[in-house]
Amino acid sequence: MNHHPIDIQPPDISAYRSGNTGADYVHLLDSGKPGPSVMLQALTHGNEFCGAIALDYLFRQKLRPRAGKLTLAFANVAAYARFDFDDPDRSRYIDEDYNRVWADDALLGPRDSAELRRARQLRPFVDAADHLLDLHSMHEPCRPIMVCAKSEKSVALSRRIGMPADLLLDTGHPAGLRMIERGAFNDPASPRSAVLIECGQHWEKSSVQVAIDTALRFLKATGAVEGAWADARLKLAPPPEQRVIRVTEPVVAQTMQFRFARPWKGLEVLPKKGTLVASDGDREWRTPYDDCVLVMPSLAHLKPGTTLVRLGRYA
């Protein structure tokens, strides 16, 4: 076995194919009362299915918004459908990363792929959302991280959610625009906000409860559900504090010879400036300052142009 153990089962989501929106696997719950438009998305990547388990849980709990509208979406279902226990990373996507195609020049341009076609289907729901939570997991074992893109307002939303402990402000993704950076989500003048939770390693049992609790706390924080309804279903204690990691630079592979200096686990704090992080052919990547934090190091998707770790510091 050349992958991490798969300790959770991919859920059967076939019952959710026919929604009420005209797009398969997208459901709109309307309270009939004024309020925010809130969106929860799972399966941005087809091998990251703890979020799909969380959405299935919410459906089974007979979730209904107290105000406004709530959209529940399973995103890259075509990739998820080909999940293989012997080759689980194959179902991450079909043609390209669904979470790198959210700029208008990609969505509205002439290019075609399975992921672009699905993103074009979901674009109206994303563009209508006042608040959005994208449920993800990580290839390597690591404690949960909330990705706030480049937006201080997303940090504020994460603090209202109350978990996880580590909040990431980064520099964007060089391979393309992520959904949480689209349009007004990335505009400081707009009240619309979006965050992305990395719930833990893809197939650890703990990632499921992180996804469920984060979704419940998000729904409570946005006013989509009654606080008591969410609180009665929470299982995890919130962290004693939340700290922001500000990314200063991504480490992007230039060649297939990229190698880490050590088997980094993620969120290590390297105390001394100049510590070797990785090498890439003749190039060395060293920490640019003391107390440098390594964010989500992984060689799982090694190819030139891919970000393999981010360097940052606690604010």
Please, how many CA atoms are within 13 Å of residue 126, restricted to the half-sphere of its CB?
29
What class, spelled out in words, does domain 14-231 have in CATH? alpha beta
pLDDT digit string, tens, across residues 97-146: 999 999 999 999 999 999 999 999 999 999 999 999 999 999 999 999 99
Residue 1 has pLDDT above 70, yes or no: no
- pLDDT score recorded for residue 252: 92
For the chain, give the percent of residues with pLDDT over 90.
91
pLDDT at 266 over 80: yes
The pLDDT mean for the chain works out to 96
pLDDT for 50-65, tens place per residue?
Answer: 999 999 999 999 999 9
> Which CATH number applies to 247-314?
2.40.50
pLDDT at 236: 98
Q: Where are the domains of the chain?
A: 14-231, 247-314
pLDDT in tens, 220-262: 999 999 999 999 999 999 999 999 999 999 999 999 999 999 9
Residue 79, φ and ψ in degrees, nearest 5: -65, -45
Can 14-231 and 247-314 be said to share one CATH topology? Answer: no
